[in-house]
Amino acid sequence: MVISQAVKIARPVHWIKNLSLFAAILLTGTLFEKGLFLDVFWAFIAFNFATSATYIFNDVLDVKQDRLHPTKKNRPIASGKLPIGFAVFEAIALSLFALFAALSLGNLFFLLVAGYLVMQFLYSLGLKNLPIIDILIIAAGFIIRVYAGAFVINAHLSVWFLLCVISVALFLASGKRRAELNLLKETNEITRTSLVRYKKELLNSYVTMLKSESIPPCVAFSGGTK
């Protein structure tokens, strides 16, 4: 029972987001080079541990609010099916596993994983309640994943790719918040404190602007522009 809840709270379904680490090895045409593929795969595992640790840490901090939420009350900690002490231990263990795996791939990758963990922990501690900052952190998480995959194989990616990744990440993060704000207006359920500080018109402007700004660098990159 506890094991199944421990797996559930780790949210393995969200590990799909970490597939972005394979972007660099795909774009450089080195996917089938065994040594490089194994390095990126190990990096993928490290980020899986790291992201799961941050999800658990966030659930520990939000347990009181989750117990009052119509759907989040069914989460492992909020429902009482997973002891908080066990969840804290799991989060710490996964963080250590992530850092250990990262260290084997080099100091730079280790710093990226450590930085990602710190950023996400600060997000859970309160930065998620600050408008704009929350969007920047969501986007930064995606950008870190993509470039971590590049650093692992020592790949050089063009400035156009960097601009493409940044603009698309900001576009997706803004779109996520806009969707949540629309849901809030329909259900009147405040799922995030920062949502009440956003205006629909502002998020619409962000989404439209970032969508337009993401097109030129992505087109330039796909066309091989240096």
| Mean pLDDT of the region 62-74 | 81
CATH of 21-157, one of 1.10.12.10, 1.10.540.10, 3.30.9.10, 1.10.357.140: 1.10.357.140
For residue range 146-177, what is the model confidence (pLDDT) as tens digits?
Answer: 989 999 998 887 888 888 888 888 888 888 88
**pLDDT > 80? residue 23:** yes
The model's pTM is: 0.86
Looking at residue 225, its pLDDT comes to 46
CB 182 within 8 A of CB 168: no
Looking at residue 48, its pLDDT comes to 97
| Mean pLDDT of the region 189-216 | 77
Tell me how many degrees the CA angle 210-201-134 measures, rounded to the nearest 5. Answer: 60
Looking at residue 172, its pLDDT comes to 87
For residue range 90-100, what is the model confidence (pLDDT) as tens digits?
Answer: 999 999 999 99
| Mean pLDDT of the region 182-188 | 66
**pLDDT > 70? residue 59:** yes
Residue with tokens 């408008």: 131
Angstrom distances, CA of residue 166 to CA of 25, 112, 137, 159: 18, 17, 12, 11
CB 14 within 8 A of CB 48: no
Mean of all residue pLDDT scores within the chain:
87
Q: What is the rounded distance in angstroms from the CA atom of residue 18 to the CA atom of residue 12? A: 11
**pLDDT > 90? residue 140:** yes
